[in-house]
Amino acid sequence: MFQGFARSYSLRMAVISAIAILFPGVSVGQQPTPHQQTLQLVDQHAAHFSATSRTIWEYAELGFQEEKSSALLQNDLKAAGFRIQASVADEPTAFVATYGQGSPVIGILGEFDALPGLSQAATPDRSPVTANAPGHGCGHNLLGSGSALAAVALKEYIERNHIAGTLRFYGAPAEEGGQGKVYMLRAGLFRDVDVMLQWHPAARNGVSNGGMLAAYSAQFVFHGVAAHAAMAPERGRSALDAVMLMGNAVEFLREHVPSNTRIHYIISNGGAAPNIVPDTASLDLMARNFSLTVLQDVWARILKISQGAAMMTGTTVEVRNLDGSANILPNDALAKVAQRNLEEVGGFTYTAEEKRFAEQLQKTLPPGGAGLLDSTTTILPLRKPDPNEPDASTDVGDVSWNVPTIGFYTATFAPGVVPHTWQAAATAGMSIGQKGMIVAARALAITGADLFSNPQLVLDAKSDFRHQLEGRTYESVIPAGQKPRLDYRKR
Ligand SMILES: [Zn+2]
Ligand SMILES: [Zn+2]
């Protein structure tokens, strides 16, 4: 009896220690929870996808030219057991990676395009790898790799536990101005998706429940009549005059739009020489507001201004390259779960070396610009987006008007650093960025696990989505039938 007890006891201890090795942190005698299993899987693949993020950071390919970055992520996902549909939506570098079948259909968005001129070594001082070359100043190398890390872990979790449903990773190109996702949307690639998960690199950790600005952009090209500017100015009709009048009128318009509207422009062509009345001149303009609906009205008035400027100068106006994106619709049902999950994951701490790096980097920020270094360890409380807070724009907005969407942001950049800077590109290529990326992947993966195992959560997300859309209709800023502008970087 005693011997028997001893034998079964030692056998039990062997099983327990095997569990402890497989799932550290799991208390003895308990099965690992779905979150513990999923987090363990993320950690197993974290080193691999950190390396992937570094390789994409080195490729630093601009929008619609991300051949190597897209191929690398496709290979990783294919190796993990996903089916790949490459070159979707008339976008050579867009792809969809799918695992499983049936309901629910859960999507994760990934991006991988770089920005022009932001080439930067992983150093805390300004040192381009190649002068004027592109760089990952928005951290999209981390975005694509972190989302792929979450997708691979989540796939293994649903596979091991025989959970029904479809998991998709969306390789979405050209977020920086190419609106890659809008064309994927139009191609019907998101049609059956129940919930979309996303994240973006940042300088703090939190849940992004809505926010970002709806945006319109276009080039206003004025056509006039060229003439000798001294000998026969009366024969000329100046396209540059029209551009300047349009700029002035836009300044007057500022007084009569909601004060959180942003309008910004450049003169992209001001003529050839001062002694020739310019027969062609152009103004590239963007307008933004947190509400797509408000912005539609502002944009209609900007179009009238362009016609007025043409009329005053005897020129004609042509609106080219009309482009833009919607604001992100919030989803309160998903936000609550996302917040809980990010708090469960927690932030991260710097090593002594990372701390030195961040401190040195912060010295290059404008006075008062540096944030608290230990803010990377904390999660910001859940809050509604503030319409008066400055923000950027993204084609994730268009997705969110069509699929219930929730996102995270994590501290991949040193506190105080803003995206689209060399400082952001620097940490996107080293361990600080990778640690932030892993936090995002962990939060995405466990939120995905919740959606796969809790049908009520998917229903709640859908009902909140319908509520958010009430009284509003989605209309893309981009004209119907327009093909992706694959050469949008060459204006
Ligand atoms: Zn960006
Ligand atoms: Zn970005």
Distance from residue 384's CA to the centre of ligand 2 (Å): 20
Q: What's the average model confidence in pLDDT over 286-307?
A: 96
pLDDT band at 489 (very low <50, low <70, confident <90, very high): confident
Distance from residue 224's CA to the centre of ligand 1 (Å): 36
Distance from residue 300's CA to the centre of ligand 2 (Å): 28
Distance from residue 189's CA to the centre of ligand 1 (Å): 23
Give residue-wise pLDDT tens across range 309-346. 999 999 999 999 999 999 999 999 999 999 999 999 99
Can you give the pLDDT at residue 235?
Answer: 98
Distance from residue 135's CA to the centre of ligand 2 (Å): 12
Can you give the pLDDT at residue 70?
Answer: 98
Pick from 119, 100, 223: nearest CA to 165: 100
Distance from residue 419's CA to the centre of ligand 1 (Å): 6
Distance from residue 314's CA to the centre of ligand 2 (Å): 41
Distance from residue 214's CA to the centre of ligand 2 (Å): 15
14 has pLDDT over 80: no
In this prediction the pTM is 0.90
Q: Is 214 helix (H, G, I), strand (E, B) or coil?
A: strand
Proximal ligand: closest to the CA of 140: 2
Q: Which ranges constitute the DSSP H helices of 322-474?
A: 332-345, 352-362, 396-400, 422-428, 431-453, 455-469
CA distance 193 to 259: 36
Distance from residue 484's CA to the centre of ligand 1 (Å): 19
Can you give the pLDDT at residue 41?
Answer: 98
Give residue-wise pLDDT tens across range 255-289. 999 999 999 999 999 999 999 999 999 999 999 99
Distance from residue 141's CA to the centre of ligand 1 (Å): 12
Sequence-distant (6+) residues with CB within 8 A of 162 are none
DSSP string, 189-258: TTTT-SEEEEEEEESS-EEE-SB--EEEEEEEEEE-B--BTTT-GGG-B-HHHHHHHHHHHHHHHGGGS-
CA distance 384 to 327: 14
pLDDT band at 7 (very low <50, low <70, confident <90, very high): very low
Proximal ligand: closest to the CA of 409: 2
Length of the chain: 491
Q: What's the average model confidence in pLDDT over 25-36?
A: 77
Distance from residue 318's CA to the centre of ligand 2 (Å): 30
Distance from residue 201's CA to the centre of ligand 2 (Å): 7
The amino acid present at 370, given as its one-letter code, is: A
**Residue pair 326/398 in contact by the 8 Å Cβ criterion:** yes
